[in-house]
Structure 1
Amino acid sequence: MSVKAELYDVIRKPIITEKATQASENGAYVFEVAIDSNKPQIKEAVEALFEVKVKAVNTTITKGKAKRFRGQLGKRKDVKKAYVTLEEGNAIDVSTGL
């Protein structure tokens, strides 16, 4: 497996919501990341993929909801999000895609 593929295993996709857009105005970008990834791995992946300098990484795990699907009880998957704050003068254009 190539190095770039391993980086994409850590960072799944950017999250573009109203809250994430407000965070990006303050220099923070939100990504869905692998549930087993840690902060140094996330920092390394963002710096390598987007060629920016990362200041800080904050993570949060959202527990999956219990939902019904065709009458059967099921559960959505847990999602880990990373709030990546960049150094001054750095920016990521998440609208172009990964």
Structure 2
Amino acid sequence: MNQERLMQVLLAPQISEKATWVAEKNEQVIFRVVSDATKPEIKAAVELLFKVQVESVQVSTVKGKQKRFGRSMGRRKNWKKAFVSLKPGQEINFAEGGAV
């Protein structure tokens, strides 16, 4: 896989109450990813950027919400999120900016 492409696959970590709960319970990390990213690309990107070993990747598409803009209705874009399961003993610490 192209290393330039892998650097653009991950957009941001999804940090929320639910994401923190999932991280503690299932040893998973949630990332917001490019909408055309594949599971092997996401796995390779996480391993490249954070120097950790990935066990599996689950992907879901989040549908954009309907929103009003004045009189007219609009729609936010759909986006994709990836649930990355790390191998036992692996951890990503975003507070310190990298792998631990």
Q: Which moved more, 1:42-51 or 1:71-80?
A: 71-80
Tell me the amino acid that sits aligned with residue 31 of structure 1. Answer: F
Structure 1's unaligned 5+ residue stretches are none
Distance apart, 1:96 and its partner CA: 4.3
Cα distance, 1:97–1:72 mapped onto 2, change above 3 Å: farther
Paired with 1:83 and 1:72, the residues of 2 have a C-alpha distance of: 35
TM-score of the two chains, using structure 2 as the length reference? 0.87
Q: How many residues align?
A: 96
Stretches (4+) displaced over 2 A: 5-8, 94-98
Quote the residue 2:63 is aligned against.
63
Quote the residue 1:92 is aligned against.
92
Residue 16 (structure 2) pairs with residue 21 (structure 1):
no
TM-score of the two chains, using structure 1 as the length reference? 0.88
Distance apart, 1:95 and its partner CA: 3.1
Tell me the amino acid that sits aligned with residue 84 of structure 2. Answer: V
Structure 2's unaligned 5+ residue stretches are none
Paired with 1:52 and 1:93, the residues of 2 have a C-alpha distance of: 11
Q: CA RMSD in A?
A: 1.7
Tell me the amino acid that sits aligned with residue 31 of structure 2. Answer: F
Distance apart, 1:70 and its partner CA: 2.4
